[in-house]
Structure 1
Amino acid sequence: MNRRNLEFIQVLLIIVSMTFAVRASNNMIGTTIPLLSKFYFHFTQTQVGFLSGLMSLGTFVTSGIVNARLRSHVRRKVFVISSVAYAVILPSFYLVNSTTIWIVSLLAGLSLGSIMPNIINSAGLLEDRRARERLLSIYTLALSASLVAGPALESAVLRFYPVPFTFLFFAPLGIVAGVLSLFIRFPEERNTSARVNVVRNPGFITAVINILAYNVPFSVILSFGGIYAVQQLHVSYAEVEGLFSLFFATSFLARIYLSIRPPDSVRAHAVLAISMTGLGLLLLVLSGNVLLFTLALLILGFPHGLTYPLSIISISRTFKPEERNPANSQFFATMMVIGVVTPSVAGLVADVVGLRTLFGALIPIVVVLLLLLNRYVRVVDEVTKVEKVAKTP
């Protein structure tokens, strides 16, 4: 085995393990907080939405404001401290009440804002484009694997224990993340005096529009899908997590595909993903029973698997290695803004019109974003064609 392959495997094992630990536990928090706040603390839909948004607000502050402005060596220290703090915060949810849940959710969001963007940065450090995009795809594959395993484990826990106990069962994953944070690589930054114009870069614009087309519906589904299933379809808490596990299973299949075949055309895959999002939302609106609801979630899982890796690939293709930290940080911050605004507004709307109508209102938003995407995504594919021509002997 040559040195390059050995380096790839070492980086892969560390990134995959930490990604799995953080995302499985983080997603558990995202799906469990609505159930805990709604059915244990008797929050309104509006309060549930604001609580979900608060955690994303904390993540936005750290990723978009703090992390994006730190030099590499300082950012690494903040990253390690945040990872250790997350290991402490995670089991603290077991002790929350209707007041302290707001504080602990904010603290969890603040810690996560430093963790996830820096894992993405580390995954994008390889110089070879194919190797780098394969690692990025495997990184997103680890995300999907954690999102399948996490709800499946939570579903098993909820068959025997009340909802608050879930946080204790996931606490070891926080400890794993804290330990592995010591081994994550950080880039050597060059040209630190040069200002990177992130927001005008076509790759960044493509990444943002692409993620908007999915994360807006996904934020609503994550915050209110479980509540809808319990109230309208009369499923148990354990069955809710089982449904989420099926949703993430098809996401996992989509990311296996991208790991095996990194996409030459971002546009073709992005259009397919957004189209499937529209179809899945339509079925969600029509779902009057568990079977149709399950089918909708299975379809929506595929674009979930495609959208995020396509966005980070767009960024990796159009930014230099030393420019990717501000790009990834601002991209992750944008995702968190979506996570703040969407459930907050959705909760207000749901209290007025109901959850089914709320799901239907997302469809025209997705269609508009698909039209916008076509204006910018071609540039990303052109960059790839130029690179391939330049490397042709």
Structure 2
Amino acid sequence: MNETRGIAASVRRLLELSGQELFIIATYLIVTGLFRASQNAAQTTMPLIGHDLLGIGVSQIGLVATIWGGASVVTNIFIASIRGSSRYIFVGGLIAFPFGILALVFSHTYLQLIASILLLAISGGIVMPALASSSATLGSVSSKRGAVAFTVALSLSLAIGPLIEAGALRASHDSLRIALAFFVPLAAVGSVLGILKLGRTKDQPSSGSSAGQRAYVLFRQRDFRDAVFSLALYQFPFVAIINFGAILARTRFGASAAFSQEALTSFFLVSFISRAVLLFHPTKNRDKTWLRGAAILTILGVVIVGLAGSSLWFVVAMGLLGIPHGLTYPLALNLLNESATPDQLAKGNSILSATTGLISLTGPFVIGLLSASFGISTMFLLMALPTIGFSMPLFFHHHKTASGAPVL
């Protein structure tokens, strides 16, 4: 009954929005979806292009992914260090993004591969934090519900994107370049819409304090520290899935590239459902309970991947891992919204992006070395260790909101 009332209230609030607000929200969600679907296609196809077409080993693929993460981190730090937020930088990131995918499609050497991922990393490091911050200013929609709507759009795009790529792979007889090329026009449309409708917003005012002071103020807040731990507990397994999941399916089960994309679809579809539940069923003051559950499911999921004896168990594990993927990011954004003032949101989102970026920087190379030394299956089993470590603060202190109000 309570869930039905929550859905009815959400629908009622949606109907009360003006036509202009609905148009802005729809444009924002479309831009977010097209950008993230195209970005994920590049992230999951890059390892196969390197492995199958360029003959690169797993440790070298890990190094390329590390460079991607490093460039993203540097970009996030730069965005967090500037005063206010610049729409011109945002527009530049949108323009560069489709060219990055196009460069990856036509990469025929190791250096060309690195050049393409640098362009993708810089543009992604600019655009994603800006889109996350924009979720707090979607008309009369509350900032917390806007944050979850943002993550729902991400998950929906991530569920549909692999299906598009799987269809393109089957139609092109497993041609990785042709399949990835399908996303160039999608990325271009998203960029044009973003420039026309979202790139006109005014720069946010600066608080006047230095970047270091702003970061220090945020890290003094327990909610913000918990947001950082929430993202970190899942990021190592996620890096392993994105960069080495398809290779594991190919080498262990003889699966096609299309099958790998379909397995990722189950992962992102479950993630989408998890975020939809958060959107219509507020967690109130139970953030920590949900995040503890996400940590437990993550550990269980990577263990199943490591021990999977068939492609069916691989798909089951992908679906199971989709649940914590769906939960951790929106709950982290909720914690940020509780701990940051409006002028701190852009900086806070850049710091959260830098957190995942730092793991993406160090993770792929280390994971690649572990895979080369012990095998990909054992590597996935080892991914339970960082999840256990980063989830410890969530298990050993309790979170309560000051007002006891719902977090969504």
Question: Under a length normalisation based on structure 1, what TM-score does the superposition of the two structures give?
Answer: 0.92
**Are residues 1:151 and 2:170 paired?**
no
Match of 1:237 among 253, 257, 276: 257
Partners of 1:111 and 1:384 lie apart in 2 by 38
RMSD of the TM alignment (CA)? 2.1
Amino acid at match of 2:323: F
Q: How does 1:99-178 map to 2 (within 5 A)?
A: 99-125=111-137, 131-161=142-172, 162-178=175-191
Partners of 2:402 and 2:68 lie apart in 1 by 36
Partners of 1:122 and 1:4 lie apart in 2 by 20
Q: Confirm or deny: 8 A CA contact 2:165 2:180 kept in the other structure.
A: no
Partners of 1:145 and 1:200 lie apart in 2 by 34
Q: How does 1:40-59 map to 2 (within 5 A)?
A: 40-59=53-72
How far residue 312 of structure 1 moved from its aligned partner, in angstroms, is 0.9
SS of the equivalent of 2:282 reads coil
Q: Deviations over 1:102-141 (max 9, x none)?
A: 111111101111100000111013697x722111111100
How far residue 187 of structure 1 moved from its aligned partner, in angstroms, is 5.8
Amino acid at match of 2:376: L
Q: Deviations over 1:338-364 (max 9, x none)?
A: 111111100011100111111111123
Match of 1:215 among 217, 235, 254: 235
Aligned equivalent of 2:100: 89
Q: How does 1:1-393 map to 2 (within 5 A)?
A: 5-6=17-18, 8-64=21-77, 66-72=78-84, 75-98=86-109, 99-125=111-137, 131-161=142-172, 162-182=175-195, 183-184=197-198, 185=201, 188-193=204-209, 195-196=213-214, 197-264=217-284, 265-375=286-396, 378-379=398-399, 381-385=400-404
Q: Confirm or deny: 8 A CA contact 1:57 1:106 kept in the other structure.
A: no
Gaps of 5+ in 1: 389-393
Partners of 1:4 and 1:190 lie apart in 2 by 32
Question: Under a length normalisation based on structure 2, what TM-score does the superposition of the two structures give?
Answer: 0.89
How far residue 203 of structure 1 moved from its aligned partner, in angstroms, is 1.8
Q: Deviations over 1:219-269 (max 9, x none)?
A: 011111100000001111111111111111100110110111232121111
How far residue 200 of structure 1 moved from its aligned partner, in angstroms, is 2.9
Partners of 1:96 and 1:245 lie apart in 2 by 26
Q: Confirm or deny: 8 A CA contact 1:58 1:108 kept in the other structure.
A: no
Query: Structure 2 vs 1, CA of residues 292 and 146 (structure 1 numbering), >3 Å: closer, same or farther?
Result: same
Partners of 2:60 and 2:226 lie apart in 1 by 33
Amino acid at match of 2:107: V
Q: Give % identity.
A: 26
Tell me the matched-pair count.
382
How far residue 55 of structure 1 moved from its aligned partner, in angstroms, is 1.5
How far residue 180 of structure 1 moved from its aligned partner, in angstroms, is 2.3
Q: Confirm or deny: 8 A CA contact 1:59 1:333 kept in the other structure.
A: yes
Runs of 4+ in 1 over 6 A off after TM superposition: 1-4
Amino acid at match of 1:119: L
SS of the equivalent of 1:159 reads helix
